Amino acid sequence: MNDRDPRRLTIGLFTALLGASGCTKDSADPNAGDDGIGADSDAPSSGDPGDSIGEGTGSSTGRDPGEDAESTTEPPPPSPVVWDVGDSIDVPGATCGAPTAVSCDHEDDDIWHAMGINCDVGPQVDGVANGDPLGFYVHAGNLGSFEPAPFPPREGEKFLVISSGQAADIAIPNLFASTDITGFVDNDAALPAPIDVQAVSATDDCTTDPSLIGQGDCSNTIQAQWAQGSGANDYVEMRFTAEVPFETFSFSYDFAMFSTEYPVYYQSSFNDMYIGWLESELWTGNISFDEMGRPISLNAGFLDYKDAPNPIDCPAPCQAPELAGTAMVGHAGTKWLTTTAGVTPGEEITVIFAVFDLSDGILDTVVLLDNFQWGCSGGAPVTIPG
């Protein structure tokens, strides 16, 4: 960021206005296949862009800090759906035959191995990484310097980082992470198919009405967040298809999200997002949420760790020592979260893990991915603290 960036003025204004009133950080904000890319501890290697990296045109956008019932005798309308974040439900009477996962990320810096995928044993997928090679990085060991370690690998020795900027920057303490990379889509009014932000219903999801499957986002969580901005930039994704093994009724994975957009652009149109998308016989839509059952976006309330004050819900001091030793010092993120989603044995599913900037291409948002595995808990998608 250079001296002309209006956010320097905004940050100074924050410091002047917030004063010294006390606040402790919230645990959950109520407002709120293809070895396409390799990586090492210094920087991700690009692989063959023709095989695994989608191409787009980058854009760099400056921003203005200022941008951004009547009583009745009829029963009130149903409340909007807030997605379940409780424990998933076992399939009654089902025999569990899910393959046991075996870690192999100690062998190399393959991006799939880093998530527990495509080892000799365990989940096998046909996958592709789309986006700028800089948006992918394999990290070894705990992220940051805080003890006890809040972000250790969830399986094996490593995990994958995807980012709307340079993914390796997350491991550089106190760095202001803001890179405009070449996204798979840039300044696009729609996300890549089959992702469809449209809610399937104002009152129902696809568990209460299975006829809605394939009509959009079964969780009804993406549309309101997407509408706050003006299109995706610096979009990167991990996308794969897989055949669900015999006697397997679910899959799960772990993730965490961080954003440099906080605190200056918190609750603005720069509402960077992460989407975990599933296409299956039982579900089409977002499957990953925060502890409050809301989608993973800057404004929706995903923030467990806030390391800077904001005038909306956390005046100074607002601190998160858990982010020490990372590029998110002074910013915000989640803890590890675990998503589980039901599937049907023998079907082919498509899964997409995608992160992107909303409305512009600067101020990076970062996601950690690890521990993908098959399981035997069926039912609708749920996310719980990991």
Q: 111-127 pLDDT, tens per residue?
A: 999 999 999 999 999 99
Measured CA to CA, the distance from residue 70 to residue 62 in angstroms comes to 42
* 116 and 123 Cβ atoms separated by less than 8 Å: yes
Least reliable range by pLDDT among 4-13, 80-89, 116-125, 142-151: 4-13
* Mean pLDDT for all residues in the chain: 82
Confidence of residue 302 (pLDDT cuts 50, 70, 90): low
> What is the percentage of the chain residues whose pLDDT exceeds 70?
75
pLDDT at 183: 83
Is 90 exceeded by the pLDDT of residue 6? no
Q: 222-269 pLDDT, tens per residue?
A: 999 999 999 999 999 999 999 999 999 999 999 999 999 999 999 999
* 293 and 83 Cβ atoms separated by less than 8 Å: yes
Measured CA to CA, the distance from residue 214 to residue 205 in angstroms comes to 11
Confidence of residue 94 (pLDDT cuts 50, 70, 90): low
Confidence of residue 219 (pLDDT cuts 50, 70, 90): very high
pLDDT at 27: 38
117: its two tokens: 């995928």
Is 50 exceeded by the pLDDT of residue 153? yes
Contacts of 179 (CB under 8 A, 6+ apart): 134, 165, 166, 169, 362, 364
* 378 and 88 Cβ atoms separated by less than 8 Å: yes
Distance, C-alpha 281 to centroid of its chain: 23
Residue 359 amino acid letter:
S
Measured CA to CA, the distance from residue 197 to residue 176 in angstroms comes to 30
> What is the percentage of the chain residues whose pLDDT exceeds 90?
67
Confidence of residue 340 (pLDDT cuts 50, 70, 90): very high
Residue 258 amino acid letter:
F
Is 50 exceeded by the pLDDT of residue 82? no
> What is the rounded end-to-end Cα distance, in angstroms, of the chain?
34
* 314 and 26 Cβ atoms separated by less than 8 Å: yes
Is 90 exceeded by the pLDDT of residue 188? no
pLDDT at 283: 98
Phi, psi of 296 (to 5 degrees): -90, 90
pLDDT at 40: 43
